[in-house]
Amino acid sequence: MTEQLSADDWINQGLRALTKSGFTALKADPLAKTMGVSRGSFYWHFADLGAFHAAILKRWREIAAEQIIADVEADNDEPLKALLRRTFGARLDLERAVRNWAAFDAAAQGAVRAIDRRRLDYVETLLERRGLTPAMAQARAQILYWTFLGFALSGAPVPAPRLQVLLDEILRMVSA
């Protein structure tokens, strides 16, 4: 590779490696080999492996929460419906990889807890906007989030027509 790599290049490659091979692949040497550069390029951008891992987790939060929330808020559709369609219709390999990492690493575990809280708070807000009391919104948001996590961690594909039927039923259940 003749051009100089950016920190984003390393982070993006790290996300691909994490998704494909798990958190043990997040090391300078194997990533550098994959990218065709020396590991000196890695250390140009990151003080150490911990700083790289923190950057990976920060990007995951941007992808898996902040960007989705921004997209849902910009969508012309009803926000809760758009959120369900977006999250249950996504490939969730990275979600599973980060949650697996969190079982072995305190920093990843902290990132997962923070994103879980962010997502739950957002869903509660959407349910309150639909007229649910704060207590009811909190309870239904938790149930909805557990449903999402079960779906995400199962990894089982659901055909699009079947998924739409399920999403309509989920929306009906949390809104009733």
H/E element holding 118? helix 106-129
Average pLDDT over residues 149-153: 94
Whole-number Cα distances in Å, 51 to 3, 43, 45, 101? 23, 10, 9, 16
Cα separation of 126 and 168, whole Å?
A: 16
Give the up-direction half-sphere exposure of residue 94: CA atoms within 13 A in the CB hemisphere: 18
Coil, strand or helix: which one is 152? helix
What is the tens place of the pLDDT at every residue in 66-109?
Answer: 999 999 999 999 999 999 999 998 889 999 999 999 999 999 99
Residue where the block lists tokens 């590991």: 39
In the chain, domain spans = 7-175
- By residue count, the chain amounts to 176
Name which of 16, 5, 117, 21 is nearest 60 in CA terms.
16
Q: Can you state the angle between helices 67-74 and 79-88, rounded to 10 degrees? A: 140
**Cβ atoms within 10 Å of 70's Cβ, excluding its own:** 11
The architecture of the domain spanning 7-175 is: Orthogonal Bundle (1.10)
For the whole model, what pTM was predicted? 0.91
What is the tens place of the pLDDT at every residue in 154-171?
Answer: 988 889 999 999 999 999
Of the chain, the end-to-end C-alpha distance in Å amounts to: 56
